[in-house]
Amino acid sequence: MQNFVNAYSWINFRYLLEGLWITIEVSVVSIVFSYILGAILGLIRYIKVKYLSATVGFIIDLIRNLPLLLIIFFTYFGLPNIGIRLNPIWSSILAMSIFESAMLAEIIRSGIGAVDPGQMEGARANGLSYWQAMWHIMLPQAQKKMIPTIVSQFISLIKDTSLATIIVLPDLMYHAQIIYGQNSNYILPMFLALAVMYFVVCYLLSILSHYLERRLA
């Protein structure tokens, strides 16, 4: 019992919170990048440009079927071989953005696909250009359908950030490992703290996702 009291001293607790902050920071930056990139890729998939859409679709399939860990290794250990050297934070952000934008591209494509095509026809009949109709009519409606799914992708992104400890990203998992590495009495308390902290963040987000699903439906 004493172990638990000592393990959760303010210094350790603050160190864990700093790790959690890095986890959230990396996840938020990655989801923003991948939302932008995913929207562009999803649109290219949706509007069916000859050759381009099929190629983009194939690349998306390739990335979606690779383990995220491999992409993380690739960005941190592989890229320096061709002269691109990134620090752990930016390599993780790059890896997560590549992986997640492929996931989001599929979600965004099917989100636009789920909007009634009559909306587009109506907008065009009323004199809007294709891109005006896409921007003002189609995308806002598609976004409503996609937001709950994107929030649950964000949850899995937060969980997956823990994989980047292997390239020494100073996230929650890594900070916990450092604390229990110094004192083996702290192993159990640290795992409990890890489980609780990840659970609280992800569970709150999943409640938000359910709420949005009901609100926006």
In this complex, which beta carbon is closest to other proteins, that of residue 76 or of residue 137?
A: 76
Interface positions, 153-192, toward other proteins (CB under 8 A): 155, 159-160, 162-163, 165-166, 173, 180, 184, 187-188, 191
DSSP H helical ranges for 74-186: 88-113, 117-125, 130-133, 139-160, 172-182
- Whether the Cβ atoms of residue 142 and residue 112 lie closer than 8 Å to each other: yes
CB of 159 to other proteins, least distance (A): 4
State the amino acid at position 120 in one-letter form: M
In this complex, which beta carbon is closest to other proteins, that of residue 127 or of residue 217?
A: 217
Tokens of residue 128, six digits:
């809007």
Distances (CA, A) of 162 to 23, 148, 149, 169: 8, 23, 21, 9
CA 135/CA 137 separation, integer angstroms: 6
Is residue 21 a contact residue for other proteins (CB under 8 A)?
no
Tokens of residue 74, six digits:
């690739």
Q: Which residue is it, tokens 């950030």?
A: 161
Is residue 68 a contact residue for other proteins (CB under 8 A)?
yes
CB of 44 to other proteins, least distance (A): 19
Is residue 101 a contact residue for other proteins (CB under 8 A)?
no
Of 1, 5, 81, 217, the one binding other proteins by CB under 8 A: 81
CB of 42 to other proteins, least distance (A): 17
- Whether the Cβ atoms of residue 26 and residue 169 lie closer than 8 Å to each other: yes
CB of 192 to other proteins, least distance (A): 10
Is residue 4 a contact residue for other proteins (CB under 8 A)?
no
Of 66, 120, 128, 178, the one binding other proteins by CB under 8 A: 66
Name the phi and psi angles at 67, rounded to 5: -70, 140
In this complex, which beta carbon is closest to other proteins, that of residue 90 or of residue 124?
A: 90
Q: Which residue is it, tokens 């005006």?
A: 132
Cα Rg for the chain, rounded, in angstroms?
A: 21
The residue ranges that bind other proteins (CB under 8 A) are 61-62, 64-70, 73-74, 77-78, 80-82, 155, 159-160, 162-163, 165-166, 173, 180, 184, 187-188, 191, 194-195, 198-199, 202-203, 206
